[in-house]
Structure 1
Amino acid sequence: MQRSRLPLLGLRAFEATARHLSVTKAAAELCVTPGAVSQQIKLLEETVGVPLICRKGRSMELTDAGQVLRPALTQAFQTIELTLNAIARRPRHDTLKLCLLPTLAEKWLMPRLARFQGAHPEVDIQIMTSFRAIHFEAEDVDMASFLGKSLPTGLEGVRLFDDAFLPVCSPALLRRYERLAVPRDLARATLLYSVRRMDDWQRWLTLAGEPDLRPQHSLSFENSSLSIQAAVDGLGVAVIQHAYVTDLLKAGLLVTPFDLVARSENGYYLVWSPTRAARPTFRSFLEWVLKEVGHTAA
Structure 2
Amino acid sequence: MKRLPPLPALHTFVVTAQCCNFTRAAQQLHITQGAVSRQIAGLESHLGYPLFVRQARGLSLTPQGRELFPKMQQVFALITEAVDDLEQASEAIQLKAPTCVMRWLWPRLMRWQAERPDVPVELTTTVQHGVDFRREDFGAAIIYGPPPGTGMVARHLFDEQLTPVCAPQLLKGPTPLKCVADLEHHMLLHPTREDTDWETWLKAAGGTLGNVSKGQHFETLDLAMSVATHGTGVAIGDWALIAEDLANGQLAMPFDLKVRTGLGYYLVYPQRAKASAGLVELFDWLLVQAGGR
> What TM-score comes out, normalization by structure 1 length?
0.63
Give, in angstroms, the shift of residue 244 of structure 1. 1.3
In the alignment, the residues of structure 2 paired with residue 216 and residue 165 of structure 1 have an alpha-carbon distance, to the nearest angstrom, of: 18
Q: How does 1:7-156 map to 2 (within 5 A)?
A: 93-105=90-102, 107-132=103-128, 133-156=130-153
Q: Which residue of 1 aligns with 2:207?
A: 210
* Same amino acid, percent of matched pairs: 32
> Residue 245 in 1 paired to residue 242 in 2?
yes
What's the secondary structure of 1:144's corresponding residue? strand
AA at the equivalent of 1:181: K
Q: CA deviation at 1:249?
A: 0.6
For structure 2, the 5+ residue unaligned runs are: 1-88
Instruction: State the secondary structure of the residue aligned to 2:150.
Output: coil
Report the alpha carbon displacement of residue 147 of structure 1 after superposing the two structures with TM.
Answer: 2.2
2:286 aligned residue (286, 289, 294): 289
| Residues 207 and 287 of structure 1: CA distance in aligned 2, closer, same or farther (over 3 Å) | closer
Q: Which of 224, 228, 239 in structure 1 is aligned with 2:225?
A: 228
Query: 1:14 — aligned with what?
Result: none
Change (3 A) 1:128 1:198: farther
Shift of residue 176 of structure 1?
A: 2.6
Tell me if structure 1 keeps the 8 A contact 2:186–2:233. yes
Deviations 1:228-260 (A, max 9, x none): 111112221001000111111110000111111
Partner-residue secondary structure (3-state), 2:182? helix
Task: Give the distance between the partners of 1:94 and 1:203, measured in 2 at CA.
Answer: 43
Q: Is the 8 A contact 1:147 1:267 kept in 2?
A: yes
Asked if structure 1 preserves the Cα contact closer than 8 Å seen for 2:195 and 2:213, the reply is no
Residue 185 of structure 1 is matched in structure 2 by 182
Post-superposition offset of 1:143: 1.5
Q: Quick check: 1:188–1:215 contact (8 Å CA) kept in 2?
A: no
C-alpha separation between the residues in 1 aligned to 2:194 and 2:125?
Answer: 17
- Distance in structure 1 (CA, Å) of the matches to 2:291 and 2:206: 34
RMSD: 2.4
Relative to structure 1, the CA distance from residue 126 to residue 188 in structure 2 (aligned partners, 3 Å threshold; closer, same or farther) is same
- Distance in 2, matches of 1:202 and 1:134, equals 28
Q: Indicate how the Cα distance of structure 1 residues 147 and 197 shifts in structure 2: closer, same or farther if over 3 A, else same.
A: farther
- Written as runs of structure 1 = structure 2, the 5 A alignment for 1:154-173 is 154-173=151-170
Separation in structure 1 between the aligned mates of residue 93 and residue 273 of structure 2, nearest angstrom:
10
Q: Tell me if structure 1 keeps the 8 A contact 2:181–2:209.
A: no
Structure 1's 209 and 290: CA in aligned 2 closer, same or farther, altered over 3 A?
closer
Paired letter, 1:187? E
TM-score (norm 2): 0.64
The letter for the 1-side match of 2:94 is K
- Highest CA radius of gyration, 1 or 2? 2
SS in 1 for 2:94: strand
2:276 pairs with 1:279: yes
The 1-side partners of 2:117 and 2:207 are apart by 51
Alignment length (residue pairs): 204
CA shift for structure 1 position 266: 1.4
Post-superposition, which runs of at least 4 consecutive aligned residues in structure 1 deviate over 4 A? Answer: none
In 2, Cα distance between equivalents of 1:179 and 1:168: 13
Instruction: Assess, with a 3 A threshold, how the Cα gap between structure 1 residues 216 and 287 changes in structure 2: closer, same or farther.
Output: closer
Give me the whole-angstrom Cα distance separating, in 2, the residues matched to 1:262 and 1:291.
23
